[in-house]
Amino acid sequence: MATSAPQAGAYARTAAYVPVVPAQVGPEAMVAEEARSGRAARIALLVALFGQIAQTLASVSQLHRTLRVVDQMLSSNNGNLPNNTVNPALGLVSNLGSLAVVVCGVLFIIWAYRSAKTARGLGIHGPWGPGWFIGGWFIPIANLVIPYLCIKSLLPPDAPGRRTVRLWWAFYVAQYVLSTAAIGIAWVLYQNNRPLGAWPWIPAGLSVVCVVGAARYGRVMIDTIVDAHRRVAAGAPTAG
Count of domains for the chain: 1
Higher-pLDDT residue of 164, 90: 164
pLDDT score for 13 = 46
Whether residue 9 lies inside any domain: the answer is no
CA angle 32, 33, 34 (to 5 degrees): 90
Instruction: Report the pLDDT averaged over residues 213-224.
Output: 97
Instruction: Report the pLDDT averaged over residues 154-181.
Output: 92
Residues 6+ apart with CB under 8 A from 218: 45, 108, 168, 172
* Confidence bin at 42 (pLDDT 50/70/90): very high
H-assigned helices in the chain: 27-75, 88-121, 132-135, 146-152, 162-191, 201-234
How many CB atoms are located within 10 Å of the residue 215 CB?
25
Whether residue 114 lies inside any domain: the answer is yes
* Confidence bin at 56 (pLDDT 50/70/90): confident
Whether residue 154 lies inside any domain: the answer is yes
Q: Which domain holds residue 39?
A: 27-160+223-234
List the single range of 98-107, 128-137, 169-178, 184-193 with lowest mean pLDDT: 184-193
pLDDT score for 20 = 44
Whether the CB-CB separation of 203 and 176 falls below 8 Å is answered with: no
Instruction: Report the pLDDT averaged over residues 38-55.
Output: 93
pLDDT score for 24 = 58
Whether residue 132 lies inside any domain: the answer is yes
How many CB atoms are located within 10 Å of the residue 102 CB?
11
In percent, how much of the chain has pLDDT > 70?
79
Whether residue 196 lies inside any domain: the answer is no
Whether residue 87 lies inside any domain: the answer is yes
Whether residue 171 lies inside any domain: the answer is no
Whether residue 187 lies inside any domain: the answer is no
List the single range of 7-11, 120-124, 175-179 with lowest mean pLDDT: 7-11
Of 88-92, 156-160, 193-197, 206-210, give the range with the top mean pLDDT: 206-210
